[in-house]
Amino acid sequence: MIKAIFSGLAVLVLALLIYAATKPDSFRVERTTHIEASPERIFPLIADFHQWAKWSPWEKADPALKRTFSGSESGMGAIYRWDGNKNVGQGQMEIIESTPPGKLRIKIDFITPFEGHNTVEFTLVPEGNGTRVSHAMFGPSPYISKLMGIFFSMDKMIGEKFEEGLSGLKSLAEAG
């Protein structure tokens, strides 16, 4: 009986491992909102890491978050390092492409709790009297991420934070 239980568990674990291997080798999470403000009003709030404390949900997840800024003040070459609690971990962002007022691309490197190297992209497109703002993150999906993806939805976890951040950005830009 015990042998049959262990054999069944071994088959289940093997099936999960094989299933994880079939998952895509990359991921993309994206959320979009409409903000009643011009791209010229919104873009500086994104291109200047000093402004992120006003709208980014990750900034609020750790009141004792340690931040350092280097490189350019904003735009291309601006660098932001953070070191926080288990909710925000440790890492670095660097703006690698800045095309005001329509596109910003950031290289993001997570150190803890999990190592990861991805790209964040903001796209701002005029729409009526406002702007359609998209916030995306994409990159490789190593095997451990594929395995974790069986039990946790990366799109749901990160997507909810993107929605929260876009909502904060909307409030800030529309109040301006």
Give the pLDDT confidence of 59-88 residue by residue, as tens digits: 888 989 999 999 999 999 999 999 999 989
**For residue 94, what pLDDT is reported?**
98
Peptide bond before 113: cis, by omega within 30 degrees of 0? yes
Question: 3-state DSSP call for residue 5?
Answer: helix
Amino acid sitting at position 49:
F
**For residue 1, what pLDDT is reported?**
82
162 by Cβ neighbours in 10 Å (0-12 / 13-18 / 19+) ranks as buried
**For residue 37, what pLDDT is reported?**
98
Distance, CA of 97 to CA of 40 (rounded, Å): 17
∠ Cα 58 140 153 (to 5°): 55
List, for residues 150-169, the tens digit of each pLDDT value.
888 888 889 999 999 999 99
Contacts of 72 (CB under 8 A, 6+ apart): 78, 95
Strand-by-strand arrangement of the 130-140 sheet: 26-35, 130-140, 116-127, 103-112, 90-99, 78-83, 66-71
Question: 3-state DSSP call for residue 127?
Answer: strand
144 pLDDT band (50/70/90 cuts)? confident
Per-chain mean pLDDT for the chain: 93
Nearest to 112 by CA among 150, 71, 62: 62
50 pLDDT band (50/70/90 cuts)? very high
**For residue 10, what pLDDT is reported?**
83
Global confidence as pTM: 0.88
**For residue 19, what pLDDT is reported?**
77
Distance, CA of 171 to CA of 136 (rounded, Å): 19
∠ Cα 8 141 136 (to 5°): 130
Residue 176 has pLDDT above 80, yes or no: no
- Name the DSSP letter for residue 75: S
